[in-house]
Chain A
Amino acid sequence: MAEHNHTKHEPNYLEYQGKHKGLLGWLTTTDHKRIGLLYFYSMMTFFLAGVVMGLLMKFELISPGEQIMGAQTYNGLFTLHGLTMIFLFVIPGVAAVYGNFFLPILIGAKDVSFPRLNLMSWYLYIFGAIVVLASQFMGDGPPDTGWTFYAPYSLKTNTNVVAAVTGAFILGFSSILTGLNFIVTMHRLRAPGMGWLRMPLFAWSLYGTGWIQLLATPVVGVTFLMVVAERLLGIGFFDPAIGGDPILYQHLFWIYSHPAVYIMILPAMGAITEIIPTFARKTIFGYTAIVISSMAIAFVGYFVWGHHMFTSGMSSTSRWVFSLLTFLVAIPSAIKVFNWTATLYKGSINIQTPFLWAIGFIFVFMIGGFSGLVLGSLATDIHVHDTAFVVAHFHYIVFGGTGFAFFGALHYWFPKMWGKIYNTKVANLGLLIFFIGFNLLYFPMFYLGLMGMPRRYYDYLPMFENANVLSTVGSWIMATGLIIIIVNLVRARKGSGREIDNPWDGKTLEWTIASPPIVENFEEIPVVEHGPYEY
């Protein structure tokens, strides 16, 4: 391990005192690293709230009949769980935290192109979050539509849909501005010598993500405005009673919300692509193929939204077209998995906590990916649509994929972000318990779905009880692992551990600077003379 060997001429970003001090200093900062941490702390708060909601729902499902809540409360809770986890955690997710913190450093820049716009994105995110959460307490009660706000129910329910979709609309702007900022930063601020094909692959994944954020998010923004207009003015976009088409809502919603899955997963894949070569001590296998696959996922991902609508009454021509396109998107995803594993081949593998998270990611992502093929296939989808199978698939991809990458990246970059190293034994133990709990929680849902248990019900037939008990116990084990992981990191953050600039012997630019980095990252802008993973 390389010990701290920099003579610090400038204070690091955590110590720096600008015009304002303390909390005000953080709330008015334009430093991309501080903004990354603002996102991190706010997102972790929402994530933990979402976890508690999930635990409550799993407790309700421990046996048939009403346990701790009735149907309406359960409907409100799964809607809030979805809104919180999707819009407040995984969509900003890896990109908002690690993208903000590391993108400028990885490409050798002092900051993003538009630092003030960056801060504004965070404020929009917080404002949107407040509106979404306020929808739970204002008006006629929490929305009970699910996070998808499907018409015509979202037009008919007396619950507070308008506030919730307005909040999601505002959150969309935060996402668009972040995407725009990242794209411009990569076009304009790469260090001398850093050509496009010398950019670290995490940056490439953010580039693909940025374009999706920029191009797909306005569609859902307009769609949500149409829901508001329809509810308030009765225009007739989606309500068949006044000449609308409810399937149009599903088209518009999924034109954004399927690419949104790639907003969540692409940066996650990018983070894993940084971790693998560092711990394999080997240049990434197939750099260009990974770049192309990132862009291909972003591109093909635009045209697969209809697989959410196979049973909605869409035309049969559209169904097979969307099914075909859905299978196509599996190809670039598989290329990435192949390249990660091929990088490990004949590598000099150093098994550390971030590497274990990356391996865990590949395992759960593969289960999520393969179950996605079951759902992308027309015949099998009709059998398992709207069952617990979809919930399992979705959580394996979004929580297993993005969540594992989020915590993997946190363990990878923690020493850089805070300049401290955590207890690796405790971190590994936490991961092991989390991994067992995760699989015990979600895997039984595949079985339950295949047996016909519908999703979004607070009650079920007695035949489903055993698997549900397993799943609920899994949720407790997973929460235990999560507590161990978080407590370990908080202790490391507060502890007086050694300052280490490059604990993993990484080769990308963030490992060449001090930990924690100074305010403008580099004392001198580096000149890049080779690719990012030269081992």
Chain B
Amino acid sequence: MVLAALIVLTVITVLITSVEMGPYNTAAALLIASIKAAVVLLYFMHLKFDQKIYGIMVGIVMAIFAAVIVVTFFDYLYR
């Protein structure tokens, strides 16, 4: 099931490159990659079944990382 979701998401990543969305193509690619990474973390790396504190810590790290990317893209979107 998880493997199937990852394969489907990979196919979507490839297909979406043929849709012209300007700078949002990158955003879409990043979003799909993030979903895939989250699925891997939750199921393959057992985050979902572990103590909550680990999920919170990973969540904070991901949020900071996402925020850094968003702030960087401010420059590219408005330059």
Which residues in A have some Cβ–Cβ distance to B below 8 Å? Answer: 215, 219, 247, 251, 255, 299, 302-303, 306, 313-318, 321-322
B53 to chain A, nearest CB (A): 9
Interface secondary structure of B, over-half rule: helix
Q: Given the complex, which residues of A lie within 8 Å of B74, measured CB to CB?
A: 315, 317-318, 321
Most buried by A among B64, B65, B67: B64
Q: Given the complex, which residues of B lie within 8 Å of A322, measured CB to CB?
A: 71
Cβ of B79 within 8 Å of any chain A Cβ, yes or no, is yes
Cross-chain contact A317 with B78 (CB below 8 angstroms) = yes
A316/B64 contact (C-beta < 8 A), A251-B72, A303-B71 known: no
Cross-interface CB contact of A315 among B64, B68, B78, cutoff 8 Å = B78
B1 to chain A, nearest CB (A): 32
**Residues in B7-31 with C-beta less than 8 Å from chain A:** none
Cross-chain contact A303 with B68 (CB below 8 angstroms) = yes
A243 to chain B, nearest CB (A): 15
Cross-chain contact A316 with B78 (CB below 8 angstroms) = yes
Provide the bound-state CA to CA distance between A315 and B76, in Å.
7
Cβ of B75 within 8 Å of any chain A Cβ, yes or no, is yes
| Residue in A closest to B76 when the chains form the complex, CB atoms | A315
Q: Given the complex, which residues of A lie within 8 Å of B75, measured CB to CB?
A: 247, 251, 306, 314-315, 317-318
A84 to chain B, nearest CB (A): 28
Q: Given the complex, which residues of B lie within 8 Å of A316, measured CB to CB?
A: 78
Cross-chain contact B71 with A315 (CB below 8 angstroms) = no
Cross-interface CB contact of A255 among B61, B72, B78, B79, cutoff 8 Å = B72
Interface secondary structure of A, over-half rule: helix
**Residues in B42-65 with C-beta less than 8 Å from chain A:** 61, 64-65
Cross-chain contact B71 with A314 (CB below 8 angstroms) = no
Provide the bound-state CA to CA distance between A455 and B4, in Å.
57
| Residue in B closest to A304 when the chains form the complex, CB atoms | B71
Provide the bound-state CA to CA distance between A531 and B11, in Å.
56
Provide the bound-state CA to CA distance between A251 and B71, in Å.
10
A254 to chain B, nearest CB (A): 10
Q: Given the complex, which residues of B lie within 8 Å of A303, measured CB to CB?
A: 67-68, 71
Q: Given the complex, which residues of A lie within 8 Å of B67, measured CB to CB?
A: 302-303
| Residue in B closest to A247 when the chains form the complex, CB atoms | B75
Cross-chain contact B78 with A215 (CB below 8 angstroms) = no
Cross-interface CB contact of A215 among B61, B76, B77, cutoff 8 Å = B61
Cross-chain contact A321 with B61 (CB below 8 angstroms) = no
Cross-chain contact A215 with B71 (CB below 8 angstroms) = no
B31 to chain A, nearest CB (A): 20
A315/B72 contact (C-beta < 8 A), A215-B61, A303-B67 known: no
Provide the bound-state CA to CA distance between A276 and B68, in Å.
35
Provide the bound-state CA to CA distance between A215 and B62, in Å.
10
Q: Given the complex, which residues of A lie within 8 Å of B71, measured CB to CB?
A: 303, 306, 318, 321-322
A215/B72 contact (C-beta < 8 A), A315-B78, A315-B79, A318-B78 known: no
Q: Given the complex, which residues of A lie within 8 Å of B72, measured CB to CB?
A: 251, 255
Q: Given the complex, which residues of A lie within 8 Å of B68, measured CB to CB?
A: 219, 255, 302-303
| Residue in B closest to A183 when the chains form the complex, CB atoms | B57
A184 to chain B, nearest CB (A): 12
B20 to chain A, nearest CB (A): 19
26 pairs, A vs B, C-beta closer than 8 Å: A215-B64, A215-B65, A219-B68, A247-B75, A251-B72, A251-B75, A302-B64, A302-B67, A302-B68, A303-B67, A306-B71, A306-B75, A314-B79, A315-B74, A315-B78, A315-B79, A316-B78, A317-B74, A317-B75, A317-B78, A318-B71, A318-B75, A318-B78, A321-B71, A321-B74, A322-B71
